[in-house]
Amino acid sequence: MSKRNLLLKVMAISMVVLLGLTGCSSKPAPTAAPSNVESTQAAKADFPTKPVELVVPFAAGGNVDLSCRILSSEAEKALGQKIVILNKEGGGAVIGQTYVTKAKPDGYTLLALTSSYVTNIILKGAEYTLDSVEPVMMYCFDPEIMLVNADSDIKSIDDLIEKSKETPLLHSTPGNGTSHHIAGMLFTQKTGAQFDYLHTNGSAEQTVQIAGGHAEVGFSTYAGAASLIDQGKIRVLAVASDVRSEEFPDVPTFKELGIDFTYGAYRGIAAPAGTPAEVVDILEKALDDALNSETVKEQFKNSGLPVTFKNSEDFKKMLKDDYDGMNSMKDILTK
């Protein structure tokens, strides 16, 4: 073989070897798909990375607003991000509630959820449903109390019922469809008492109307009326709970007066439906830890806010029970 032919043969063999090596090196190495555990851990590690917005569907200064500010100031320490309170009042809470149900379900927009959410669906035909939110936790239950102006000649529930049957009493509420408004309608159903309703923009304005004599009566909660009760400007006639209140032990319950009436306002936090379960878990834990902190316990107590915790699942069940109960009375409540 000539030197020229030998050189060509060596070059050809070298090219074959080179191409083989290149082909092997270009083949991508197989990668393992992330496990569900790894995906969940990654999601948890990524939330939250920015401030969380908590929508209060009532005016600033009311007890829902106050309780959310107390709770969020402690919960944001655990989350590592600010919780920004956004008051979007109007429509008896429909405006703020609608805003949240249409928000992106990523945990960054939350709702201060009260019993008005259920009543707005049933009584106002709100465009959202019970399934439009994912309950995160409940933190408070406040029994309704019947209030009158301190100088009112209505001294008892019997006085109130009898006087209202002569002429309907002007009943102040924090908004149409709120728990205090529903309480009035349920009370009418049970006793025959008659009311004309004065709907305001929140519990703070509601109680001022009673204290100033602009309204004759009203259902509220202790948290929403504590300062005016303490100042002696409004008086409590009865409590819609099974036992007497620690705040005013001399005031009877409706049950003691022969009226089977137990009702109250609940407060909690919810996220838009579709929010990932792991994000709901993070929020629930942060809020639960905050609720159990000495700081929040003390501030709630000083503000007359009774702490009542329910986790996501239990709160969801309670909402369903409330919905079923209210829906069964829809014809009565909408008369």
Same domain, 229 and 189: yes
For residue 284, give the amino acid letter.
E
Q: Is the pLDDT of residue 8 over 70?
A: no
Tens of pLDDT along 136-151?
A: 999 998 899 999 999 9
Q: Are residues 173 and 320 in the same domain?
A: no
Q: Is the pLDDT of residue 60 over 90?
A: yes
Q: Which of 257, 283, 318 is the last residue of a domain?
A: 257
Q: What CATH number did the domain enclosing 169 receive?
A: 3.40.190.10
Residues 50 and 107 in one domain: yes
Domain count, the chain: 2
Of 232, 257, 282, which residue sits at a domain end? 257
For residue 175, what pLDDT is reported?
87
Q: Is residue 326 part of a domain?
A: yes
Q: Which residues of 256-286 are buried (b: 16+ CB within 10 A; e: fewer)?
A: eeebebebbbbbbbbbbeebbebbbebbbbb
Question: What digits encode the pLDDT tens for the residues 12-40?
Answer: 444 444 444 444 444 444 444 444 444 44
Please check whether residue 267 is in contact with residue 143, taking contact to mean a CB–CB distance below 8 angstroms: no
Higher confidence at residue 139 or residue 62? Answer: 139
- Looking at the fold, whether 115 and 164 belong to one and the same domain comes out as no
Do 171 and 112 belong to one domain? Answer: no
pLDDT digits (tens, 9 = 90+) for 63-78: 899 999 999 999 999 9
Q: Do 251 and 284 share a structural domain?
A: no
CA–CA distance, 185 with 77 (Å, rounded to integer): 41
Domain with 303 in it:
45-141+264-333
269 and 248 housed in the same domain: no
Q: What is the band of 45 on the pLDDT scale with cuts at 50, 70, 90? A: low
The whole-chain average pLDDT of the chain stands at 87
